[in-house]
Amino acid sequence: MFKVASYNMHKAVGLDRRRSPERILDVLREIDADVIALQEADRRFGAREGVLPPHLLDEHSDWKAIAFGMRAASMGWHGNAILVRKAATVEWCQPIHLPSLEPRGAVTADVRFDGAPPLRVVGMHLDLSGLWRRRQAAAVMAHVEAAPEPRPAVLMGDLNEWSQAAGCLRDFARCYRIAATGPSFHASRPVGRLDRIMTSPGLRVVDCGVHASPTARRASDHLPIWAVIDG
């Protein structure tokens, strides 16, 4: 079994309007997941610099950021990043270019833990527009299917979709199971299930939820979600 998490970290700016990468790292330590998909992990303008300094991860965490080679100062691609345990092996990784009016992207990687079969992980942050979300969901699924080797897959991220019965979630549900993690937005009073974890057939969600510690309630406008997966 392994634990995954997804977190829109809001560029590490909390509800107190203070930017604190250290606080984000505290939240990640509380969750203690094997794989973490981050959204809004890079600054929006200029060099798109990563918000979590590399030395902070190297010296004060159990994770490493997967390098996608898109921008020298960025953690990932259009703010999407994937963290994995330092002992994990990354066998393959790619950015995913998404159709959009504003810059959007996703990231994917094949990760292996302790000799177990590799797992394909996708992190994404979809558009505010329902039409573009559906196009982006189709692009993500097509990219996963076209990857070099078939793998069990976990798709995670901020989908910006309020209803599971419609839009991109209905599209994803044709091929993936959607974990019942719970409302994660807004962190001060969670009512929206905007953040999602989805698994391919063959993987089983043993447990899942929303991480709502006092620190998490202050660190971002989203709460992180998590799932324990067998398979």
Domain hosting 145: range is 2-230
Q: Give the Cα separation of 88 and 74 in Å (integer).
A: 21
- pLDDT value, residue 56: 92
pLDDT of residue 147: 84
Flag whether pLDDT at 46 surpasses 70.
no
CA of residue 188 relative to chain centroid, distance: 21
Task: Report the domain count for the chain.
Answer: 1
* Residue 47 pLDDT exceeds 70: no
pLDDT-derived band at 70 (thresholds 50, 70, 90) equals: low
User: Amino acid identity of 48?
Assistant: R
Of the candidate ranges 40-44, 135-139, 227-231, the one whose mean pLDDT is the lowest: 40-44
Q: Determine the average pLDDT of the residues in 75-79.
A: 88
Determine the Cα–Cα distance for residues 68 and 55; give it in Å rounded to an integer. Answer: 18
> pLDDT at residue 50 above 70?
yes
Instruction: Calculate mean pLDDT across residues 120-141.
Output: 96
Q: Of the given ranges (160-174, 193-207, 214-228), which has the lowest mean pLDDT? A: 160-174
* DSSP structure string for 58-95: HHH-SEEEPP--S-TT-SSBTTBEEEEETT-EEEEEEE
pLDDT tens track for 190-213: 999 999 999 999 999 999 999 999
Residue pair 45/100 in contact by the 8 Å Cβ criterion: no
Task: Give me the amino acid identity at 16.
Answer: D
Lateral strand order in the sheet of 35-39: 63-65, 81-85, 35-39, 2-8, 225-230, 204-210
Instruction: Give the model's pLDDT for residue 45.
Output: 65
The pLDDT, as a whole number, for residue 228 is 98
Mean pLDDT, all residues of the chain: 93
Please give the residue that has the higher pLDDT: either 223 or 77. Answer: 223
What CATH number is given to the structural domain containing 38? 3.60.10.10
